[in-house]
Amino acid sequence: MNFWNFVVQNRLEIADLTLEHLWMVSVSTLLALAVGIPLGILISRRPALRKPVIAAANIIQTIPSLALFGFLLPAPWIGARAMRLAILALMLYALLPLIRNTYAGIIGVDRGVILAARGMGLTESQLLFKVQLPLAASVILAGVRVAIVISIGLATIAAAIGAGGLGELIFRGLAMVNNSVILAGAVPAALMALAADTMLGWLEKRFTPQHAD
């Protein structure tokens, strides 16, 4: 059975698994944004917290994904459903690029701009929302882009704990020693990563501040 035949015959299942994959990546990314960006902002204001926070995110990043799934298995509520567990793990992996880029983006805003903003009487939150975050947007988006592309790839491994997604086809294909089945999972995942990368790259460009020549 060749690749195309397999895809056509199993198009409904592939579509289902693609949606599942997309769901895992979307939810985990949203959660990671909700945690990572505030943490990045926090460490830009409290320099003492920078090292421990970045170190923690770094350590998470070094844990092999299969091991991380295993560690999280005994967690109450989370461990009860493979999908929840996968989402949590994907979120943890996405933290580092988000925290680091948010921090770098904020710290990288021109000194003179910050000085002028404070001097003219912006409150700290006005400074953050009107000046620092808009000017850091393109750097933060670059972090989001990395996080999403990594997540799409990593989410295929979630099938190992029964969380579904396109990894299901890849693992099935491996077990059957059938390249067509592997490709039926791998190709959509790769296309998804490419699409996300292109879209976010475009956004990133739009948000890149103009500079003096």
Residues contributing to the site for other proteins (CB under 8 A): 110-123, 126, 130-131, 134-135, 209-213
Do residues 4 and 183 make contact, with C-beta atoms less than 8 angstroms apart?
no
CB of 212 to other proteins, least distance (A): 5
Report the distance separating Cα 213 and Cα 209, nearest Å.
12
Report the distance separating Cα 175 and Cα 95, nearest Å.
32
Q: Which of helix, strand or coil describes residue 208?
A: coil
Nearer to other proteins, 74 or 112 (CB): 112
CB of 116 to other proteins, least distance (A): 3
Q: DSSP label at 213? A: -
Nearer to other proteins, 2 or 210 (CB): 210
Do residues 106 and 138 make contact, with C-beta atoms less than 8 angstroms apart?
no
CA 46 to chain centre: 24
Return the H-helix or E-strand segment holding 80. Answer: none
CB of 211 to other proteins, least distance (A): 6
Nearer to other proteins, 48 or 120 (CB): 120
Report the distance separating Cα 213 and Cα 199, nearest Å.
28
Nearer to other proteins, 102 or 151 (CB): 102
Q: Which residues, including other chains, have CB under 8 Å from residue 102's CB and lie 6 or more apart?
A: 36, 37, 39, 40, 41, 44, 136, 139, 140, 143
CB of 205 to other proteins, least distance (A): 14
Nearer to other proteins, 47 or 213 (CB): 213
CB of 135 to other proteins, least distance (A): 6
Nearer to other proteins, 118 or 205 (CB): 118
Place of tokens 């975050």: 133
Q: What are phi and psi of 2, to 5 degrees?
A: -90, 170
CB of 209 to other proteins, least distance (A): 5
